[in-house]
Structure 1
C-alpha cells in the first residue's frame, strides 16, 4: 500500500494519486477544453472544482481512521500496511505501538443462530463499538469473517497493564446488548495482544500474526479470555506440538485405544448403547481423552486413519459382546467433519461391517453441529443419506447451539437427537432449561425420534431428564468411559442391580 493511502503525508501527496484515478479523467479533459474555449478564468474555476472533488473522494479519506467503516469488509493488507507505518513512525520518535485482534466468542454458533445477513450486521455493530472506544488516531480494520485488528498509534506507554485495561474497556463496550434482527443480543469477545517490542519481527505481517496467535489461545480458554503474545509458547501450545509429533507413531503402534461409555434407556433401565471414544495412555501426560487427541491431530489423512482404527477396534468389541450374549444396543461413533466428507465413507463402512459380520443397524453415526455448516456440506449430506439407506442409525448432536438443519434431518433420516451438556447442566435447578428440554423431547416424540442426553453428571439431573421425557442418558453419573476389558464386569453389575430392583411400568416401556 502506498504512503498516500495511509494518510498523514500532506495534501500534495494525497492529490497527486487522486488525479490519476480513472473516474476523474473526464474532469481533466473538461478543464483543458474550458481553457481552450472560455479562457483562463473558466479553467481556474473548473480546476478548483476538480481539486475539491479529488480531495473529498480520495482513497486517503476513505481509509483514514475517522471515515472508516470498521465492519464493512475484511481487508487484511490494510492492517499490515498501517502497522508497518506505525512501526516506522514509532522507531523515528522513540515510541511504541500494539496490535489487538478481537472477535466474538463461538462465532460459528452465532452464524448458525443468526444466518449470514444478521451475522454480518452483528459484526459491523461490534466494529462500530470498538471504533468508538478508541482514540481518533487508532485504527480498526476487519481482517476476516469475525475478527478485527485494532492498531494503536505510536505512544510512549503501551505496556501490559495498559493493554489489559484497554482490553477490558473494549469487552465492556461489546457486552452492552446490540440490536440485531429485531432483538437485543449480548456477546462476549476474546482478545489477543501483541506489543511491538514483543513481535517476532519488526513488520506489520509478523505483528498481526502474533496477535492472531494470542487471540486463538484466548478463544481456546473460554469466553472473554485475554492473552498476550510471547515468543515462548505457552505450556498448552508446547504440549499440543509434542502430541502432534507423536500421534502418527501412536496410531501405527496401537497406543490409542477405543474406550466405551454406556448409554441407559430410561424406559427399561437396560444398556441401550455404548459410545466409542479414543483414549491415549501417554507415558508423560497421562490419560488423554478425545478432545485433547483431536485438538493435537494434524490435518490430513491422519484424521481418517485414527477414526478407522478406533472404529475397527469398536466393531471387534461389538462382535465379541454379541458372541458372548451381551446386549449392548447401538454402537455410537462420532465422526469428525473431515471424515464425513470422505468420498468413500459409505463403502468403507460397509466393508468394515461385513468384515466383522455385523448389521449396519447396530452402528449409530453421530453428526456434530459444526458439520452442518461445513464448506462441503453437500458431500456430508450425500454420505449421511447413503449411510441411512444401508441401515445405519443417524443421530444429530449440538441441539440448542444454532438453527436445526431440518433438510438434513429429513434427507438423512435422523432417528435420534442428542442434547448437549450445555442443556443438561443444572437442569434440576434451571426452569428455562427444563422448558427447552421438554420442548425438544416433545418434538422428537412427534417426529418418532428418540432423545439422548449426554454429560449427565448427577442423579438429580438424571431424575429430572427422565421426568421431562428424555429417552436415553449418558454421562459420568452412569459410568465414565472404560476400556473393553472393563465393560463386561460393569454390564454384569448393572444388570444384577437392575434385576434386583422392582420394575415400575412406564408409558413407553413394559
Structure 2
C-alpha cells in the first residue's frame, strides 16, 4: 500500500523534536528572537514570533520533561515510539500495530476501593501485560486504567494473529487479583489498529484509529475486542453530540428506570425492587458505564435523579393499583443530589404526589460517600430522610472503607454487599471468610443485609447459609422496564417461591448454617 506520509516527513518531525525538545531550546529561543530583530527589524521579529509556534506545533508542542534525564526507553512517548517503529517498517518492509487496552469498570474500582488500591491494580495489570509481550514490544501506561501497546516491527502481522494477541492480553488481565483480603476478577476491552489499515500510517492517525476501535469495544463491554475499521470515529469527536443526546433523552423519557427484584433468602418472597438507569436508543440499550460518567462530567446527575425518583415511584404506585405486592423500591442518590439542601422537600413532594408512605422508598447511597463525606449537608439530608421513614441502604459495601461510626452517623438500615465479594463465593474460601465477617458485623450492629451480583445457584445457596437476608442478581432476574416488571411480578406471585438449595458445604467456623 502506498504511504502518503513519507519517511522523510517522519525524519523531519524527529529532527525538529530533537532541536526544540532539549534544554538547549530555552537557551537559544531568546537569542534567536533578538537576532531576528537586529538583522531584519520588526518584519523579521514578527516572522520568527509566528514561525516558532508553527515549528513547535509540528513537533507536537513543548515537552513537559525539559531538564530531566529519563531512561532512554521511557523517554520516548507513544507518538514518538510509533513514528520510530513506522520508519523502521518502511525501510525494512515490515509491519507493526498499536493496541489500546482499558480495564472494565475502572472508574468504579477507583471510587469504591480508593486511589491507592486502583494504582496497585494498574501496576499489577501492567506487570501481567509485560509478561505477555515480546521483548521488543512497548507497554506505555496511559493512566485511568488504560495502557497503550506498540508492537515491535515484524515481517508478517495479519488480522488473525492480531486478534489472537488481543485474546492473550485479555487472559492475562483476567487472572484473579487479591486486594485487601478480597479476590477481584478483572476484565478489559481492547481496540487495535495495524499500520497496513491506514493510508497515512504515522503517530497521530494511528492513535486516533486505535482510540476509535477501543471506544467501539467499550460500547460493547465488558471484555470486548474491536479492530479498527474505516468509518469508526473516536469518543472525542462524539462527546459534544452525546451530551446533547443525553439532555434530550432525559427530557423525552428515553432514560428511565429498569427494575431488578430483591428476594428474601428466608422465605423466597419479594422484598423490594432496585431502580437502575437505562438509556434506550431504538432497539439498542446503552450501558450505564457509557453515559453515567458523561452525566457526572456535565452536571446532569441531579436531573437524572429527578427522573429516576419520579418514574420509580410512579411505577410503584402503578403496581399497587394492579394489586401487586412490592414492599419498597430502592433509588440511588448521587453525591450531587445529597448536597442539595432542598432534597428532602423534593422527596416529600414526590411521595405525596403518588400517595406513597416514606417507608416504601429505600434511599441507596454509596459506601464511598459515607466514608469520605465531610459535608454537613449530606449528613443532614440522609438523617432527615431516615427520620422521615425512608430506609437507608449502603450500596457496594466493602469497597469504600466506611467505619462503624459512619454507619451510625448516617443511620444505615441495610448494607448491600458488593458483587466483587459474591463472585465465585461458593468456590472461594477466602471470599466466604470475608462475607461471613461482614455478615457477623451486620448482625452485631442490628443491620439488615443484601448481596448484589448473585449469578449462580451455588452463590445463592452459600449466601443463605452464611446468613445473608436478601439477594439480587442476574441469577434471579435481570433488570427490566416497568411494564415487563409488572408481568414478572404477577407471574412470581403465582409461583412457589424458589428457595436456595443448601448443597454447598461450608466450614462452621466460617459461618452459620441457616438451613
* TM-score (norm: length of structure 1): 0.63
Taking a change above 3 Å as real, the CA distance of residues 199 and 408 of structure 1, as seen in their structure-2 partners, is: farther
Deviation at 1:200, TM superposition (A): 8.4
Determine whether 1:62 maps to 2:74: no
Determine whether 1:386 maps to 2:384: no
Determine whether 1:468 maps to 2:463: no
Secondary structure class of the residue paired with 2:435:
helix
Deviation at 1:483, TM superposition (A): 3.0
Match 1:451 to one of 449, 469, 477: 449
Match 2:402 to one of 401, 405, 421: 405
Secondary structure class of the residue paired with 1:309:
helix
Taking a change above 3 Å as real, the CA distance of residues 311 and 484 of structure 1, as seen in their structure-2 partners, is: farther
Look up the match of 1:364: 362
Measure, in 2, the Cα distance between the counterparts of 1:215 and 1:168.
Answer: 14
- Mapping of residues 484-499 of structure 1, within 5 Å: 487=486, 490=489, 494=493
Measure, in 1, the Cα distance between the counterparts of 2:492 and 2:174.
Answer: 50
Look up the match of 1:210: 209
- Superposed CA offset, 1:468-506 (max 9, x none): 2222234577666463697499469739978xxxxxxxx
CA contact (8 A) 2:191 2:226 kept: yes
Secondary structure class of the residue paired with 1:398:
strand
CA contact (8 A) 1:14 1:58 kept: no
Look up the match of 1:331: 329
- Superposed CA offset, 1:91-146 (max 9, x none): 56655432222455554565568754565456456556656766666544332243
CA contact (8 A) 1:15 1:58 kept: no
Look up the match of 2:48: none
Secondary structure class of the residue paired with 2:287:
helix
Measure, in 1, the Cα distance between the counterparts of 2:146 and 2:196.
Answer: 23
Measure, in 2, the Cα distance between the counterparts of 1:368 and 1:334.
Answer: 8
CA contact (8 A) 2:182 2:421 kept: no
Measure, in 1, the Cα distance between the counterparts of 2:278 and 2:184.
Answer: 39
Look up the match of 1:227: 226
* TM-score (norm: length of structure 2): 0.63
Measure, in 1, the Cα distance between the counterparts of 2:247 and 2:397.
Answer: 33
Aligned-residue CA RMSD (Å): 5.5
Look up the match of 1:151: 150
Deviation at 1:357, TM superposition (A): 5.0
Secondary structure class of the residue paired with 1:101:
strand
- Superposed CA offset, 1:222-253 (max 9, x none): 6765432223449xxxxx99999876666544
Taking a change above 3 Å as real, the CA distance of residues 86 and 330 of structure 1, as seen in their structure-2 partners, is: same
CA contact (8 A) 1:345 1:383 kept: no
Look up the match of 1:415: 413
Measure, in 2, the Cα distance between the counterparts of 1:428 and 1:487.
Answer: 32
How many residue pairs get aligned? The number is 439
Taking a change above 3 Å as real, the CA distance of residues 414 and 197 of structure 1, as seen in their structure-2 partners, is: farther
CA contact (8 A) 1:259 1:484 kept: no
Which structure has the larger Rg?
1
Measure, in 2, the Cα distance between the counterparts of 1:317 and 1:119.
Answer: 38
Taking a change above 3 Å as real, the CA distance of residues 164 and 59 of structure 1, as seen in their structure-2 partners, is: farther
- Mapping of residues 208-287 of structure 1, within 5 Å: 208-218=207-217, 226-233=225-232, 251-254=250-253, 258=257, 260-266=259-265, 271-277=270-276, 284-285=283-284
Measure, in 2, the Cα distance between the counterparts of 1:147 and 1:409.
Answer: 34
Measure, in 2, the Cα distance between the counterparts of 1:197 and 1:154.
Answer: 12
Look up the match of 1:27: none
Secondary structure class of the residue paired with 1:62:
coil
- Superposed CA offset, 1:260-295 (max 9, x none): 44434455665433333456777645xx5xx73674
- Superposed CA offset, 1:404-447 (max 9, x none): 33375444332211235555566566655544433322221112
- Mapping of residues 123-202 of structure 1, within 5 Å: 123-124=122-123, 127=126, 138-164=137-163, 166-167=165-166, 190-199=189-198, 202=201
Structure 1 unpaired stretches of 5+: 23-56, 71-77, 235-239, 499-506
- Superposed CA offset, 1:66-109 (max 9, x none): xx389xxxxxxx32233344445545665543222245555456
